[in-house]
Amino acid sequence: MKRKIGFRMILLGSAVLLSFIFLLPSLPVGQKIPPGIQKYLPGGKISMGLDLKGGMSVTLEVERDKAVSGTLDEVASALKSPKVTPLVRGNDLVLSVSQGPERAQLEKRVLRHYPFLNKGAETSEGVTYTLLPREVKRIRDHSMTQAMEVIRNRIDQFGVAEPLVERQGKDRILVELPGINDPERAMSLIGRTARLEFLLVDDRRPDADQILANKVPLPKEDIILFSHRTAKNGQRIEFPYILKMGVLMSGEVISDARVAFGQFNEPYVSLVFNSSGAKLFDRITKEHVKERLAIVLDNVVYSAPVIQEEISGGQAQITGSFTLREAKDLSIVLRSGALPAPVRILTNVTVGPSLGKDSIRAGIHATLLAGGLVLLFMAVYYSLSGIIADFALMLNLILLVGAMSALHATLTLPGIAGIILTIGMGVDSNVLIFERIREELRSGKPVRSAIDAGYDKAFLTIVDSHVTTLITALILFIFGTGPIKGFAVTLSVGIGINLFTALVGTRVVFDAMTSRKKLEKLLI
């Protein structure tokens, strides 16, 4: 008996100690602990949800089909040559090439480098290749995973504490930004595609204004893009550039992007390429000396400097009429990577912080009131045993908030409701045990035997009710959305802790009372 009591006390004490350790970072006193000790403490803490702290809630839709067409565009760009003219149509890639050795050589190249393309119809003008269904599915799924990762990286660098980025359905992403104070800037960072490309300016062509006025046709191998400039009077002016269609280099080779300052203290973005990007940029600048290289981001020309000489070292600059904040935001999106497909904003809701303060105050009052009434009822109705149950209830709350800190949980209004429900379930378990003990005492059993029988007979009933509730909580978590999931998580953790405190917490106290001396009467 003493061994069992000692083991249970060690188990209970260890659980409480761990809960306090995990809870410390979430408490004000945790911020006063010396840094030398803080580094040994857990880093996670309970964060406030959007409904408590205020901020932004954005639902985005990832246009996954454009990620598929983007893959085909990259293949088309790689296969394009004077003898091969590619054309993308949905999930099909049509390669116009004359019959003969050129077509046979092209087929071998496609088979070797692009096994995910399935050869289709073949005519005298060219061959049609179709993306395999499994490749289409892979690209769509990867575009969602990559989009979430890119958005999360951008938000982290933007400096939002405890953001929520989670997938909803096949093509939607929920983004919650608690405490955000600049929603417009946050939206521009989240939704920006950030597709960086380097293209050559076609200076041999006629003036772009003549092409725009339909006086001169635009050559098939060229495109027209615009740069946005701000005049002295503050008016925004668009300036056209005629660019060669072939993308010489993309932003995928960027390893870092930082804000730097020029000779006249004007901000610009300094790019650092990875090893393959440095070699590629070295070759591009070597082959196109005295030509203009346009730096294009999301189909907007930021600068088009003349390549004076070969540029080695793997670095480049994006200059323009930047403000410091614009340069910082541009460096963030380039550093975190480009979105694999455009995203469309479906909903954008801003929640004021005043709602959070009212909700926190109301939630605290409700929890204290519910807890106080329950504690008072148990102490009055069950006397000394009720006080023991109150002790277990306090342990329950300590272990619950400690577990939430360990899980880095986000506290929301539904989460507070889950805590209150957990209090009720904790009391319910003790009521079942105490009523069983009363029955055993009425039948004339000694106190020690009545306690053992009460716990044994109530065990299956308590486990059954908790497992049933746990199944419901799991269903809510699987099929529910954000607030419902928060409630389900709190409830699930609370159920497990309830079982522990009801069957171990109070049992330890009763065992300690009966092990020292033989009790003739139990106040219950």
Per-residue pLDDT reduced to its tens digit, 476-504: 888 776 667 778 888 888 888 888 887 78
Instruction: State the CB neighbour count (10 A cutoff) for residue 446.
Output: 15
Instruction: Name the CATH topology of 2-19+352-516.
Output: Multidrug efflux transporter AcrB transmembrane fold (1.20.1640)
- Give the pLDDT of residue 39: 67
- Give the pLDDT of residue 500: 85
Q: Where are the domains of the chain?
A: 2-19+352-516, 64-135, 192-349
**Contact partners, residue 195, CB within 8 Å, separation at least 6:** 250, 251, 297, 298, 299, 338, 339
Q: Is the pTM above the cut of 0.75?
A: no
Look at domain 64-135 and name its CATH class: alpha beta
Backbone angles phi, psi at 481, to 5 degrees: -100, -170
Distance, in Å, from the CA atom of 495 to the CA atom of 435, rounded to the nearest integer, reads 21
Angle among Cα 211, 213, 218 to the nearest 5 degrees reads: 20
Low-confidence ranges of the chain (pLDDT < 50): none
Distance, in Å, from the CA atom of 278 to the CA atom of 340, rounded to the nearest integer, reads 23
Per-residue pLDDT reduced to its tens digit, 265-316: 888 888 888 888 888 888 888 888 888 888 888 788 888 888 888 888 888 8
3-state secondary structure of 43: coil
- Give the pLDDT of residue 365: 80
Taking alpha carbons only, the member of 342, 351, 339, 348 closest to residue 154 is 339
* Identical topology for domains 64-135 and 192-349: no
Per-residue pLDDT reduced to its tens digit, 429-443: 888 888 888 888 888
- Give the pLDDT of residue 43: 63
**Contact partners, residue 235, CB within 8 Å, separation at least 6:** none
Using a 10 angstrom Cβ sphere, with 0-12 exposed, 13-18 middle and 19 or more buried, the burial of residue 18 is middle
- Give the pLDDT of residue 85: 81
- Give the pLDDT of residue 355: 57
Per-residue pLDDT reduced to its tens digit, 361-393: 776 787 788 778 888 888 888 888 888 888 888
Instruction: Name the CATH topology of 192-349.
Output: Gyrase A; domain 2 (3.30.1360)
- Give the pLDDT of residue 510: 83
